[in-house]
């Protein structure tokens, strides 16, 4: 299944059914009077959030959707049936916006959340409704109300407690596959992760949290370099960011300059995202070149008041300590401190 996180679509509610102009025509009843029924209400456009979905792919293939119109009223005071609602199911975390104005209309951030976005037109009244002492045979009825139509833009933002951030090949996919059942593609070349993925991390005493892995961010992403800023929105809902730093490339590359470059890209994307709490994780400590420069790089971060967690996803070293730190930041304390 393709991961689609942005869709533009047109949604239309149902037109109200028209009221009916009719009169009773029965044997031996000379003046039966008006008997036109009311038209039915048009169907609403309803959005429902579901944790069982993870992509907007289905809406990509159905960009025009319309609720059913209300049925017209009929004679003998028979009212028209209401139109069936159009129910559109989207993944939890979907933000619905007006594509013309950019205004946010709904944030579907809870499972089973339900919102009526466009109301169906009201059905028109039949001529039986207008009979009075001064007008016993009205020859008119109401038309149904017009439907509502809107061009919508849907954006999916993954719901995660912890987001993984870093350059391509920094070890994000290796970490999430080590601590959860997620199985992203892992290889020794950049941009192996092309779409975001979620993993549920089982912590101690049956506690768990959700971790999100997004494609790597490189310097110049705001100008479209690499995969650009497209996937950074999936970190906006994360409570904590793990900034993974790979120092095994020294002296070919400067990991500290790369760390600062990624931080700048966050600020260029969103000041709110840049201000989120970060945990710096130095990866691949099983490699000799990483261990050789670990003390030097750690001292640089500590000198700036940043605590560092060295880990190896290959051997598992340092991962329990990292999970304890995540627990402290999410819930106030690690499991052994309860």
Please, what are the averages of pLDDT over each run of 10 residues along the chain (338 residues)?
A: 82 97 84 92 97 87 95 95 96 94 94 96 96 92 96 90 88 90 56 67 87 75 57 82 92 89 86 87 94 94 92 94 92 64
- The phi-psi region of residue 286 (left if phi > 0; otherwise alpha if psi is between -120 and 50; otherwise beta) is alpha
**How do strand 104-108 and strand 86-91 relate by DSSP bridges?**
unpaired
β strands within 72-158, DSSP E? 86-91, 94-98, 104-108, 114-118, 149-156
Q: What CATH number is given to the structural domain containing 309? A: 3.40.50.300
Query: Do 53 and 87 share a domain, yes or no?
Result: yes
The rounded distance, in Å, linking the Cα atoms of 296 and 188 is 25
Query: Do 57 and 148 share a domain, yes or no?
Result: yes
The rounded distance, in Å, linking the Cα atoms of 228 and 250 is 25
Query: Do 180 and 278 share a domain, yes or no?
Result: yes
pLDDT for position 215: 75
Report residue 233: phi and psi, to 5°: -60, -25
Domain end among 156, 181, 197: 156
Q: What CATH number is given to the structural domain containing 82? A: 2.70.210.12
Q: Output the pTM of the full model.
A: 0.76
3-class DSSP state of 277: coil
Domain end among 86, 121, 156: 156
Domain that holds residue 238: 162-337
pLDDT for position 224: 58
Burial 80-90 (b: 16+ CB within 10 A, else e): bebbebbebeb
Query: Do 330 and 220 share a domain, yes or no?
Result: yes
**Number of structural domains in the chain:** 2
pLDDT for position 269: 84
Whether 140 is covered by a domain: the verdict is yes
The rounded distance, in Å, linking the Cα atoms of 70 and 67 is 9
Whether 1 is covered by a domain: the verdict is no
Query: Do 125 and 151 share a domain, yes or no?
Result: yes
Domain end among 95, 124, 156: 156
Query: Do 96 and 142 share a domain, yes or no?
Result: yes
Whether 189 is covered by a domain: the verdict is yes
How many Å separate Cα 203 from the centre of its chain? Answer: 25
Tokens of 251: 């002296």
């Amino acid at each position: 299944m393709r991961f689609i996180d942005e869709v533009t679509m047109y949604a239309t509610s149902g037109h109200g059914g028209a009221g009916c102009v009719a009169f009773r025509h029965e044997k031996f009843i000379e003046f039966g009077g008006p008997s036109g029924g009311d038209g039915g209400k048009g169907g609403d456009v309803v959005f429902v959030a579901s944790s069982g979905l993870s992509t907007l792919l289905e809406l990509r293939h159905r960009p025009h959707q319309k609720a059913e119109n209300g049925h017209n009223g009929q004679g003998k005071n028979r009212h028209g049936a209401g139109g069936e609602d159009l129910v559109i199911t989207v993944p939890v975390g979907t933000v619905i916006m007006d594509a013309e104005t950019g205004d946010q209309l709904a944030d579907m951030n809870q499972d089973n959340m339900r919102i009526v976005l466009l109301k169906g037109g009201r059905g028109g009244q039949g001529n039986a409704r207008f009979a009075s002492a001064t007008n016993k045979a009205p020859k008119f009825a109401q038309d149904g109300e017009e439907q509502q139509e809107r061009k919508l833009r849907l954006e999916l933002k993954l719901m995660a407690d912890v987001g993984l951030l870093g350059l391509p090949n920094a070890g994000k996919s290796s970490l999430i596959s080590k601590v959860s059942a997620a199985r992203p593609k892992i290889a020794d070349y950049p941009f192996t992760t092309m779409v975001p993925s979620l993993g549920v991390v089982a912590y101690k005493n049956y506690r768990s949290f959700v971790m999100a892995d997004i494609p790597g961010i490189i310097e110049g992403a705001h100008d479209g370099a690499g995969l650009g800023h497209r996937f950074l929105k999936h970190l906006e809902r994360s409570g904590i960011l793990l900034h993974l730093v790979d120092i095994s490339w020294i002296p070919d590359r400067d990991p500290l300059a790369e760390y600062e470059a990624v931080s700048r890209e966050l600020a260029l994307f969103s000041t709110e995202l840049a201000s989120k709490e970060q945990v710096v994780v130095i990866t691949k400590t099983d490699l000799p070149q990483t261990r050789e420069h670990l003390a030097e790089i750690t001292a640089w971060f500590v000198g700036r008041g940043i605590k560092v967690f060295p880990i190896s996803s290959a051997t598992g070293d340092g991962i329990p300590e990292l999970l304890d730190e995540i627990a402290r930041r999410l819930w106030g304390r690690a499991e052994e401190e309860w």
